Amino acid sequence: MYHVDMNTIMRANNLTSNSKLTMGQVLVIPDTQGPVPVIPLYPSKKWQYIVIHHTATEAGNAMTINDLHHKRGFWNGLGYHFLIDNGTDGKQQGLIEVGPRWVKQSDGAHANADGMNQKGIGISLVGNFSETRVPEHMLDSLVFLVQTLQNYYGIPDSHVIRHRDVKGKHTECPGNNFPWQEFKHRLSMA
């Protein structure tokens, strides 16, 4: 995502091929213009829905939300497959973070009704959109991410849903200020 090759990153950080990386370790990325979105795609028939969430927190990134989910007892940490950052906790606003569950193609832990953890890709925006509005950069990133996933997995617009739309779920998620009509309109224009 930084357009810097692995050997350059290894040299800049005194890493060898035997080095082990740990979660939360800070790496120096030399000579980069900054991250560009890279969305890894894996052939699969598993994914039929996309479920949109908010974290209901003011701040966060994949690491800190991972810790939060661990504390809530989610056995594998970050319950979503993707997280869209809001410019807090050292991340730029609109950055798309890919969670370990997506890389491993594991079930989510984000919507435990109607079998949605098994068939739904969980995407969460950092923020509490019961209280604030969704920043434009974050909505742009969400549209890009969702369209990329829809195109690859053949997921129709009708299967792009909010957490609150999952059958048997009583939640406001992703918040009453989430611009759902505008978002769905932008998907339909693709």
Q: Across the strands, what pairs with 125?
A: 54, 84
**Least distance (Å) from Zn ion to the CB of residue 129?**
11
- Shorter beta-carbon distance to Zn ion: residue 101 or 163: 163
**Least distance (Å) from Zn ion to the CB of residue 54?**
7
- Shorter beta-carbon distance to Zn ion: residue 169 or 186: 169
Please identify which residue in 47, 49, 53, 55 interacts with Zn ion, judged by CB under 5 A.
Answer: 53
93 CB contacts (<8 Å, ≥6 apart)?
85, 86, 87, 135, 137, 138
Residues that bind Zn ion (rule: CB under 5 A) add up to a total of: 3
Residue 69 binds to Zn ion (criterion: CB under 5 A): no
**Least distance (Å) from Zn ion to the CB of residue 89?**
19
Q: Quick check: helix, strand or coil at residue 111?
A: coil
- Shorter beta-carbon distance to Zn ion: residue 35 or 115: 115
Other Cβ atoms closer than 10 A to 116: 24
The span from the CA of 179 to the CA of 109, in Å, is: 24
The span from the CA of 142 to the CA of 140, in Å, is: 5
Q: Quick check: helix, strand or coil at residue 36?
A: coil
**Least distance (Å) from Zn ion to the CB of residue 177?**
14
> What's the token pair of residue 99?
């969670």
Please identify which residue in 163, 166, 175, 183 interacts with Zn ion, judged by CB under 5 A.
Answer: 163
Would you tell me which residues interact with Zn ion (CB under 5 A)? Answer: 53, 163, 173
